[in-house]
Structure 1
Amino acid sequence: MKQLLLVLCLLALPALAADMEPRPGWAVHPTAKTFDTLVADTISAVKANGLVVVTQAGPTKAAAARGITIPGNRVIGVFNNDFAVRVLEQSVPAMIEAPIRMYVTENDDGTATLSYKKPSLVFAPYSGGNGELPGIAEELDIKFDAIAEMAFK
């Protein structure tokens, strides 16, 4: 039984290395950069565009510590207090989405991709034509696009 489980797990590993695909409401930016370089450049671009890296998480290093090799994978939570206060003024439930995440993944060929759900998509369920939330989300769309452009150059 253990051998069967091991074989099934090994067969599933190639699925972990799949490159990010475009999807509705997402921005997907493949680059020629390595994973580590794109992570560092994304963090720098976040700061340069007036936002803050609030969180970072990824399974790559923890998996390596367990003897498992997986492609680079990092989720970077991005926001700032100005946007937090403005979003809260419009919708308390919308703050469950903050920080908004950017996702850096290592591709099969050793390059990396920066992906994220557009903030306008993330906050759409909370706006209901209500107040300024759609405008705030559009401001964040512009900032996230600027971060991506700076990070992948």
Structure 2
Amino acid sequence: MRALLGFLCLLALPVWAEPPEGWAEYPTGKSFDALVKDTRTAVKENGLIVVTQAGPTKAAAARGITIPGNLVIGAFNNDYAVRVLETSVHAMIEAPIRFYVTENTDGTATLSYKTPSFVFAPYAAEGGETLQEIAAELDTKFQAVAESAVK
């Protein structure tokens, strides 16, 4: 019975497998708070703006529930917004594109995101080559943010 209970408890734990298709993932040795701070700084240093931030960790704590650090940081800028809108009004539903900072069980944190080219792929027919070029620019920009944030 104990073995079964232990097994069932393990099933309830979140499992990080390989990242889903279209995701970039950067495990770090940094703490959650340090990686959040460094990600915000890297966003700004790379010409983007933190447009949104949301996560359940603090709200859960206010309810007496402890969960690992978890924050979504939306990044974009007006230049990209205008350019995307010129190609596809529908594609703008995806902006801002989000970074995802998660706390690992060992106290370290991971930075992940869906690549902009993956995010905008469903709108390629509407946005054409220009939208694909913007997405490729953003791929480079998001990679630069991630590499800066995790170093």
TM-score after normalising by structure 2? 0.89
Counterpart amino acid of residue 84 in structure 2: V
Q: Distance in 2 between matches of 1:137 and 1:67?
A: 41
Give unmatched runs, 5+ long, in structure 2: 1-8
- Is the alpha carbon distance of 1:12 and 1:99 closer, same or farther for their aligned partners in structure 2, counting shifts above 3 Å? farther
Equivalent residues in 2 for 1:1-153, closer than 5 Å: 11=9, 14-16=12-14, 18-19=15-16, 21-128=18-125, 130-153=128-151
Structure 1 equivalent of residue 5 of structure 2: none
Deviations along 1:99-131, whole A, 9 cap, x unmatched? Answer: 001000001111000000000000000012714
CA distance in 2, matches of 1:120, 1:136: 8
> How many equivalent pairs are there?
144
- Counterpart secondary structure, 1:74: strand
Q: Distance in 1 between matches of 2:18 and 2:56?
A: 20
Q: Secondary structure at the match of 1:82?
A: helix
The superposition leaves residues 8-53 of structure 1 with CA deviations (integer Å, 9 ceiling, x where unpaired) of xxx599534x446422110000000000000000000000000000
| Structure 1 stretches of 4+ moved >6 Å | none
User: Which amino acid in 2 is paired with 1:59?
Assistant: P
